Homo-oligomer: A and B are copies of this chain.
């Protein structure tokens, strides 16, 4: 399914006058504060977030999975779904593939298809946390950290194969997330597990094309419930540091212990030029993988405040990070959920762009926490939605993506085309 430009324009039409008025008002308000609305709109248009191929189907928990209908069962369908999201939101211009769930058959055809939706291929993701049907050795007790050298080799080879698929499609980075760890005290020799993981990663790194990056993800628990080999940013950074210049840490918002100050981790990693990628989601308890911004939008803003600070710092050696949504959609229509996530991410980004950084630094120099808080809250409390809407309109997207999605009966059409029982690969 593709949406015609004219369809969206027609849907946008009615609400356009109200948008114009709100935007004009906001433009004036920002102008009074020395901010140029159009510059922010431009930055918003440029800010694209990758959608992972596994997020287009209904997620589940160990207690069950309640699939919706019309899920994309093929890579082509997944690309089409991301294409739809991008048409509506003009902010999902990339897709992130997961191997072996999304092995491309005809690479050229896949590339052309993506291109027809203005999509590029972002980081590729390996999977050594599950056993595939045809797999020789099991990852039950780990992959890159496994005590058995043969298992490690299998996992290393898989990652190298993933790089190959990525190269063919034009990806420029590999994300390694490991479930490796232990569920019981004593099960694992922490030090040896680290060393074996490092050794395996070094082999993968050796196969990394020279213009690629390797992202090392960390996570404190789940699916292992006592320890994980890469339990925190410190461990991830230690590995990335030992691997080399093209290895970076990747921050997933859900991969932290309760109350962690994530924004400080982001700042620290950017300070040393080692923040490579970012996985967006939200959570209340653990790695709940809920819609971005659904629970803690202020924390998201504070994180973007650090991201913008790092990105706009000319002296920073940190590369432009890879952005990806990593959420799971147990109850909502995955497409609607992704639209809400895309909106929440851009809202936080826009708010962070409004922060008066010079005034903030002055408040800090004066030990004035009251004023520093005022500056952040002034930015955060601003209703930035007209900026996002304007960015979408200028790029021929939808004024109200979810409204348009519903008016266009997308899900109904997808079910009609793919069936009510079509199930996507993923968690």
Residues of A within 8 A of B (CB): 18, 21-22, 25, 28-29, 32, 59-64, 66, 129-131, 138-141, 147, 179, 182-192, 194-195, 220-223, 225-227, 231-235, 237-238, 257-261, 263-264, 267-268, 270-272, 283-286, 288, 290-291, 293-299, 302, 305-306, 328, 330-333, 336-337, 340, 347, 360-361, 363-365, 367, 369-370, 372-377, 380-383, 385, 402, 427
Which residues of B have CB within 8 Å of A226? 261, 284, 290, 294-295
Contact A331 B267 (CB under 8 A): no
Apart from A22-B25, A62-B328, A226-B294, what are 8 other A-B pairs with CB-CB below 8 Å?
A: A62-B62, A183-B369, A186-B363, A187-B364, A225-B290, A226-B261, A234-B237, A295-B298
Report the minimal beta-carbon distance from A44 to chain B, rounded to whole angstroms: 15
Which residues of B have CB within 8 Å of A29? 18, 22
Distance in angstroms between the alpha carbons of A217 and B222 in the assembled complex = 24
Distance in angstroms between the alpha carbons of A70 and B264 in the assembled complex = 34
Report the minimal beta-carbon distance from A328 to chain B, rounded to whole angstroms: 8
Report the minimal beta-carbon distance from A276 to chain B, rounded to whole angstroms: 16
Distance in angstroms between the alpha carbons of A270 and B18 in the assembled complex = 39
Given contacts A258-B257, A373-B340, contact A63 B364 (CB under 8 A): no
Which residues of B have CB within 8 Å of A385? 381
Most buried by B among A147, A264, A337: A264
Given contacts A225-B288, A365-B147, A373-B186, contact A259 B261 (CB under 8 A): no
The number of times this chain is found in the oligomer is 4
Report the minimal beta-carbon distance from A396 to chain B, rounded to whole angstroms: 23
Which residues of B have CB within 8 Å of A373? 184-187, 291, 294, 340
Which residues of B have CB within 8 Å of A147? 364-365, 367
Which residues of B have CB within 8 Å of A286? 285-286
Contact B295 A185 (CB under 8 A): yes
Given contacts A63-B223, A331-B183, contact A191 B271 (CB under 8 A): yes
Which residues of B have CB within 8 Å of A63? 129-130, 179, 222-223, 427
Contact B191 A268 (CB under 8 A): yes
